[in-house]
Amino acid sequence: MDTVIRDAQLVDGSGAPARRADVGLREGRIAEIHHADAGGPRPSGPHVIEAEGLTLAPGFIDMHAHSDLALLRDPDHSAKAAQGVTLEVIGQDGLSYAPVDERTLSDVRSAITGWNGDGSDIDFDWRTVGGYLDRLDRQGIAVNAAYLVPQGTVRMLAVGWDDRPASEDELTRMRQLVAEGLEQGAVGLSSGLTYTPGMYAPTSELAELCRVVARYAGYYCPHHRSYGAGALEAYAEMVGLCQDAGCALHLAHATMNFGVNEGRAGELLALLDEAIAGGADISLDTYPYTPGCTTLVAMLPSWASEGGPEAILARLAEPETRARIRHSMEVEGSDGCHGVPMEWDTIEISGVSTPGLRDFVGKTVAAAARERGEEAFDTACRLLVEDRLGTTILQHVGHEANVQAIMRHSVHTGGSDGILQGDKPHPRAYGTFPQYLGRYVRELGVLSLEECVAHLTSRAAARLRLPDRGLVREGYRADLVLFDPDTVAAGSTFEAPRTAPVGVPHVLVDGRPVIRDGRRTDVLAGRSVRRTPVG
């Protein structure tokens, strides 16, 4: 063996009870599992990890990550590696950096500056999905990465920023772009249906793209049209269109938020159970926190974002249009804010792109407005204009009972939705997986340890159609995590969000130590994980 992990409590990702075992690794794969009660010789090798008191599990799979540029910008990537994450799924919420042309690359960089920075430090030497995945492989990355074709970016290429149905020629081009992305290795299609321009697509257009995804045995991952007013109807739309298209469905950061949905998780789960019983292929991911995180510009009504970033800024500068935007947001409840009128005291500023605006960070929009003696809407507009739409926010609108009910469901997986930008990012980016193990397993008992590990590993691997990941089995990839079940916890908090987790001493990617004795090594063993061809 190259490496032997000795005397671990093996939680293999299947949901089976833990068993004491030695595990031998050779050439990046699990070569031997020797259970303590089996007798016979134990595996040996030049490198031994003494795992007494530690749990050995498959590496965690982050089903919803926003590390698209962070993987290139920060080879260390301890934000995820230190949690035990060995694979991230990026290209989320319908907006990312491939496929693009010169025009759309500039637009998408502006549109999601709040998620990933403006990219001024990145050499964008790709334009296709395959080119982006190749770039990850050439550079070397800390953890593995799979990619979803972003439907909003595809629509940008084919239709632009117009709020209208696609023509038949435009729809044909979008089908072609999605197919090309899947052929080049993407595992599915994502949408951000409260983000422009993806939200301009009608259900029928989305279903046509999902038919392409189905042909390649991929899956559709929508951030659907509402997590607030009309949330159940929005979930039902996604279930129905995927049933119509014959496409697997994975619901992104699935939850029920805002006051209108308190205590209503059971209604969502009943909707999903009925569809699953009828043969639908459905899964979902969540993060174990109540606040959400997005960009401030996403709160605007969709009509105010038509035409792209420069058009938004022009509208905010025009008094009559600005007043109309305010009415939509504060009285009607804009579609950008899930149909719920703005409650500015729930919107906390978590990051800005312009250094001179950092005094806003950590304050709600309402509190910042009171300090300046102005209306909250005017403070929000000040931020949008002066920060060139780069402001990120925390949205304190979730409900703990809903979070716990959904994470118990049998099709649940873990996803951080981690945005790494900003002075005060959401702690989920640095703490999601230890938070599951520490708070929701050990402290609250919402899930058993074995069940939780299965949620975070094998169920996600099954959705991704990865035949050799997600379980500790002989012949499988040696993507592994060792953690102390008695101490593992998220170090990150809302006050100190970039604090490292505790109780995760070892993480291996491809059998190589990415985290050793709780410290990041210089190993870059991650690679792009591409769609498994069908047939």
Kindly report, residue by residue over 91-136, the tens digit of the pLDDT: 999 999 999 999 999 999 999 999 999 999 999 999 999 999 999 9
Are residue 382 and residue 417 in the same domain, yes or no?
no
Which tokens hold the place of 225? 């049209």
* Beta-sheet pairing, 512-516 with 506-509: antiparallel
Are residue 182 and residue 226 in the same domain, yes or no?
yes
Which tokens hold the place of 358? 């950092």
Are residue 429 and residue 447 in the same domain, yes or no?
yes
- Asked whether residue 7 is domain-assigned, the answer is no
pLDDT at 534: 67
First to last CA, the chain: 34
pLDDT at 535: 55
| Cα–Cα dist 143/357, whole Å | 33
SS3 state at 406: helix
- Asked whether residue 492 is domain-assigned, the answer is no
Question: Which residues does the chain have with pLDDT short of 50?
Answer: none
Are residue 100 and residue 129 in the same domain, yes or no?
yes
Instruction: Show which of 465, 490, 514 is a domain's final residue.
Output: 465
- Asked whether residue 139 is domain-assigned, the answer is yes
54 and 483 in contact (C-beta within 8 Å)?
Answer: yes
Cβ-based burial of 101 (10 A; exposed 0-12, middle 13-18, buried ≥19): exposed
The structural domain count of the chain equals 2
| 452 alpha carbon, distance to own chain's centre | 18
497 and 429 in contact (C-beta within 8 Å)?
Answer: yes
59 and 512 in contact (C-beta within 8 Å)?
Answer: no
pLDDT at 532: 78
pLDDT at 342: 96
Are residue 278 and residue 301 in the same domain, yes or no?
no
Alpha-carbon distance values, 458 to 24, 463, 471, 511, 523 (Å): 20, 9, 6, 18, 25
Bridge partners, residue 412, by sequence: 284
- Asked whether residue 244 is domain-assigned, the answer is yes
Instruction: Show which of 421, 442, 465 is a domain's final residue.
Output: 465
436 and 452 in contact (C-beta within 8 Å)?
Answer: yes
* Beta-sheet pairing, 480-483 with 412-414: unpaired
* Domain with 404 in it: 60-290+398-465
Are residue 188 and residue 245 in the same domain, yes or no?
yes
Binning the chain into helix, strand and coil, the percentages to the nearest 5 are: 40, 20, 40
pLDDT tens-digit map of 9-48: 999 999 999 999 999 999 999 999 999 988 889 999 999 9
Q: Where are the beta strands (DSSP E) in 214-274?
A: 219-223, 248-251
| Cα–Cα dist 429/415, whole Å | 10
Residue 286: count other Cβ atoms within 10 Å of its Cβ: 27
Are residue 418 and residue 277 in the same domain, yes or no?
yes
| Cα–Cα dist 393/131, whole Å | 32
| Cα–Cα dist 507/478, whole Å | 10
- Asked whether residue 234 is domain-assigned, the answer is yes
Burial per residue of 192-205, b for 16 or more beta-carbon CB atoms within 10 angstroms, e otherwise: bbbbbbbbbbeeeb
Are residue 439 and residue 388 in the same domain, yes or no?
no
The position carrying tokens 């990355």 is 141
Burial per residue of 50-68, b for 16 or more beta-carbon CB atoms within 10 angstroms, e otherwise: ebeebbbbbbbbbbbbbbb
- Asked whether residue 472 is domain-assigned, the answer is no
| Cα–Cα dist 456/527, whole Å | 20
| Cα–Cα dist 452/407, whole Å | 9
Bridge partners, residue 282, by sequence: 249
Sheet with 347-351: list strands edge to edge: 292-295, 392-395, 347-351
CATH of the domain at 158: 3.20.20.140
In the Cβ-directed half-sphere of 261, how many Cα atoms lie within 13 Å?
28
Cβ-based burial of 166 (10 A; exposed 0-12, middle 13-18, buried ≥19): buried
- Asked whether residue 21 is domain-assigned, the answer is no
64 and 190 in contact (C-beta within 8 Å)?
Answer: no
Are residue 356 and residue 418 in the same domain, yes or no?
no
417 and 431 in contact (C-beta within 8 Å)?
Answer: no
Residue count (the chain): 535
Are residue 208 and residue 148 in the same domain, yes or no?
yes
At a CB cut-off of 8 Å and minimum separation 6, what does 319 contact? none
Are residue 236 and residue 130 in the same domain, yes or no?
yes
SS3 state at 234: helix
| Cα–Cα dist 507/190, whole Å | 29
Cβ-based burial of 29 (10 A; exposed 0-12, middle 13-18, buried ≥19): middle
DSSP state of 223: E
Rounded to two decimals, the pTM is 0.96
SS3 state at 123: coil
Query: Rounded to 5 degrees, what are φ and ψ at 24?
Result: -105, 135
Are residue 226 and residue 104 in the same domain, yes or no?
yes
Instruction: Show which of 368, 395, 422 is a domain's final residue.
Output: 395
- Asked whether residue 236 is domain-assigned, the answer is yes
